[in-house]
Amino acid sequence: MRRVRSRARARATRVLTAAAASVLLAGCVQMPTSGPVVESEVTTGADDVPGISFNPRPPQEGQAAADIVKGFFDAMRATPVRTSVARQFLSREAAEAWVPERQIITYAESAEPTTGTSVRVRLSDVKRYDARGAWQRTQPSADLSLRLVEEDGEWRIDEVPDALIVPDSWFDDWYEPASLYYFDPATEVLVPEPVFAPRGDQFASSLVRGLLATLPEDLQDVARSYFPPGTTHGLSVPITSGIAEVSLSGDPDAVDEVTAQRMLAQLVWTLRQEPRINAVQLTIGGRVISFQGGSTQVDLGGVGSAYDPNGEATSTELYALADGLVVAGSMAGFEETLGPLGQDDYGLRSIGVDLAGSRVAGVSADGTRLVVAPAEAPTGEVTPVVVGAADLAAPRWDHRDRIWVLDRNAGRARVVLVVDGSAAEVDVPGLSGRRVTQLLVSRDGTRLLGVRRGRKADQVVSVRVRQDEAGVVVGFTPVRRLPLPVEGNGRIRDVGWRSPTTVSVLSDINEELSLVRTLSVDGAPGEVSTDGTVRLRGSNRVLVSTPADAESYALAGRSVTSLTRPERTVSDLPDGLTSLTYVG
């Protein structure tokens, strides 16, 4: 069973076990199957740190080579997270050269190391994370080679990978999901990138180190950072009276005001994930940077709102079709919109609304046409932007007011991009030409998610959108599949954004039960506990969700279940109401 990132109950027990055992196994969480709605536990905040520390033993006099290797692996599980004791198991030269911050390697099980001066350690179910804490890949197994030498009559490890190498269960207990914030290539919106950071006092420092790390090649033309290459910071980010003091190296005169403001926007959005921080003070090369009338302390809510990845001034209303007319409102009630699509029945089967709630895109009943019209302007025109398609899915909008729409095209999918009223097909690897049933775009415009139909089970796949500095789409990254354990018939009914970096997936378990899982969009293994993994009774077919702070719903015909507040009773949808959606 895959690990589930909602595991507070087992944390204390596993930490006690970690202190006593040299090898830990990844735990499983058994989901309950009874009741109308059942939630797993939700991961708590950054200050929820396991309460038992582990102080590993340093090397002992006369230890055998095999015991030195075991001691080294034990020492990397020190808590709070540190490598000072682990470094003592290395030779003087290796200790000086070892850079465990370059990557994290986690594993489910470790085989007994081979004997001799060249030791091989086989690890199973290996996950690799880069210097930022971002998941890179998973391998069924990996062999690590360590070479030992005698130094002052004692065995020491002289050759070791530049990595922190720890069990999955230890990593799950001491690291938590977070995001690093970068800009899109046009510097119009912030782009969150999922990472893992150590809990507790090291959380903020780890996030800042992640921001300063070099972006990987696969994010070129996807995201950009305004921190100059080679910028470093001190060993920690002190938090004094709620103020995070971020001290960076470099020449302060080489950082102009615009660059400094954008650096600050990245810092503020990244550090607001630490609940103890209320403001940020930025120092470059020993000089405190002043902002906005000479202030040196910037409130977390005072910078970067215009770069919100969920969109600035975004509508929070629900939209739908009521007997063919576009309506807007909430679950408490809907009212007709004043635009042409809200006043006359144009025979639409699905709609999508831009982030401001000012324009509506609608798909014709036969799926061959896409039209766009103002949402509230009675004199606005209805403009066809796509004609002659085969089977259009619901349209999606990003922050640049681009419309992304999937033409299912009888199992040979086409992805159509509409920019300023002009439509063009774009070739998306892993989606174009495949049997794709649904398409999502992130509000920041940097991610596409698709549902691919398989012979036995469906897949959720992710692609990054490459853009130039003018915001023009220039290509896409290779496709990446999000891990989704097959349960039931493996068919996916619907997908929807749950946050800028997570997606909820609705699937059938059997004829009587449905399941909603939440996954990280980068493909990192395991489920994410946003609202918790939820089992639902009934034949649920539709998700209504948003990456913003609003409720999510599952629909079984007219019956509505709140996924955000399962205890809440939600009235059935009115007769004739379809295509319920948030903006985006």
Q: Model confidence over 145-182: pLDDT tens digits?
A: 999 999 999 999 999 999 999 999 999 999 999 999 99
Peptide bond into 100 cis (omega under 30): no
What dihedral do alpha carbons 30, 35, 36, 38 form, nearest 10°?
-30
For residue 250, is it left (φ>0), alpha (ψ between -120 and 50) or beta? left
Query: Which pLDDT does position 305 carry in this prediction?
Result: 84
DSSP 309: T
Q: What is the mean pLDDT of residues 30-49?
A: 36
Q: What is the mean pLDDT of residues 329-338?
A: 96
Percent of the chain at pLDDT above 70?
89
DSSP 108: S
Q: What is the mean pLDDT of residues 26-38?
A: 31
Q: What is the mean pLDDT of residues 91-106?
A: 96
180 within 8 A of 309, measured Cβ to Cβ: no
DSSP for 329-390, please give it. EETTEEEE-SSHHHHS---EEEEEE-TTS-EEEEEETTSS-EEEEESS-TT---EEEE-S-S
Sheet holding 318-322, edge to edge: 333-336, 325-330, 318-322, 577-581
- Helix H segments across 146-202? 168-174
26 within 8 A of 168, measured Cβ to Cβ: yes
The residue type of 391 is: D
350 within 8 A of 343, measured Cβ to Cβ: no
Q: Which of 384, 401, 403 is nearest to 393 (CA)?
A: 403
Classify the C-alpha dihedral 444-445-447-453 as positive or negative: positive
Q: What is the mean pLDDT of residues 206-215?
A: 94
The residue type of 159 is: E
Query: Which pLDDT does position 506 carry in this prediction?
Result: 94
What residues have CB less than 8 Å from 47, skipping those under 6 apart?
Answer: 199, 200, 275, 276
Q: What is the mean pLDDT of residues 402-409?
A: 98
Q: Which of 488, 346, 473 is nearest to 415 (CA)?
A: 473
According to the 3-state scheme, what is the secondary structure of 349-360? Answer: EEEEECCCCCEE
Measuring CA to CA, how many Å separate 533 from each of 30, 46, 132, 141?
A: 11, 21, 27, 28
According to the 3-state scheme, what is the secondary structure of 481-511? Answer: EECCCCCCCCCEEEEEEEECCEEEEEEECCC
Q: What is the mean pLDDT of residues 221-239?
A: 87
Q: What is the mean pLDDT of residues 474-478?
A: 97
Classify the C-alpha dihedral 64-69-70-72 as positive or negative: positive
Q: Which of 68, 37, 48 is nearest to 536 (CA)?
A: 37
516 within 8 A of 498, measured Cβ to Cβ: no
Q: What is the mean pLDDT of residues 338-345?
A: 97
Angle formed by the axes of helices 257-271 and 203-212, to 10°? 140
Alpha-carbon span 107 to 140, nearest angstrom: 9
Measuring CA to CA, how many Å separate 103 from each of 90, 100, 128, 154?
A: 18, 6, 7, 28
Residue 139 has pLDDT above 90, yes or no: yes
Residue 21 has pLDDT above 50, yes or no: no
Q: What structural domains and CATH numbers belong to the chain?
A: 47-174 (3.10.450), 177-307 (no CATH), 318-581 (2.130.10.10)
What residues have CB less than 8 Å from 18, skipping those under 6 apart?
Answer: 24, 54, 77, 79, 167, 169, 170, 173
Query: Which pLDDT does position 294 carry in this prediction?
Result: 75
At residue 28's C-alpha, the angle toward residues 46 and 543, to 5°, is: 70
pLDDT confidence bin for 303, thresholds 50/70/90: confident
| End-to-end alpha carbon distance in the chain | 34
Percent of the chain at pLDDT above 90?
72
195 within 8 A of 183, measured Cβ to Cβ: no
What dihedral do alpha carbons 312, 318, 320, 326 form, nearest 10°?
-60
Query: Which pLDDT does position 189 carry in this prediction?
Result: 97
Q: What is the mean pLDDT of residues 437-443?
A: 98
Alpha-carbon span 236 to 48, nearest angstrom: 20
The residue type of 217 is: E
Within a 13 Å sphere around the CA of 534, how many CA atoms are in the beta-carbon half?
26
pLDDT digits (tens, 9 = 90+) for 445-472: 999 999 999 988 999 999 999 999 999 9
Q: What is the mean pLDDT of residues 122-128?
A: 96
Q: What is the mean pLDDT of residues 427-439?
A: 98
Query: Which pLDDT does position 312 carry in this prediction?
Result: 86
Residue 248 has pLDDT above 60, yes or no: yes
- Helix H segments across 117-167? none
Q: What is the maximum alpha-carbon separation in the chain?
A: 89
For residue 526, is it left (φ>0), alpha (ψ between -120 and 50) or beta? left
Q: Which of 359, 337, 357, 360 is nearest to 348 (CA)?
A: 360
pLDDT confidence bin for 565, thresholds 50/70/90: confident
Measuring CA to CA, how many Å separate 404 from each of 75, 231, 317, 450, 554?
A: 50, 37, 21, 12, 23
The helix (run of H) or strand (run of E) holding residue 84 is helix 84-87
Alpha-carbon span 530 to 505, nearest angstrom: 12
* Bridge partners for 104 per DSSP: 129, 164
Query: Which pLDDT does position 474 carry in this prediction?
Result: 98
Alpha-carbon span 288 to 4, nearest angstrom: 43
For 154-250, strand residue ranges (E) read 154-159, 164-167, 175-183, 190-198, 239-240, 243-248
Residue 30 has pLDDT above 70, yes or no: no
Q: Which of 33, 7, 32, 38 is nearest to 563 (CA)?
A: 38
pLDDT digits (tens, 9 = 90+) for 265-289: 999 999 999 999 999 999 998 889 8
Query: Which pLDDT does position 25 carry in this prediction?
Result: 27
Residue 37 has pLDDT above 50, yes or no: no
Alpha-carbon span 113 to 250, nearest angstrom: 44
318 within 8 A of 544, measured Cβ to Cβ: yes
Query: Which pLDDT does position 51 carry in this prediction?
Result: 56
**Average pLDDT of every residue of the chain:** 88
Query: Which pLDDT does position 219 carry in this prediction?
Result: 96
Residue 187 has pLDDT above 90, yes or no: yes
Query: Which pLDDT does position 557 carry in this prediction?
Result: 93
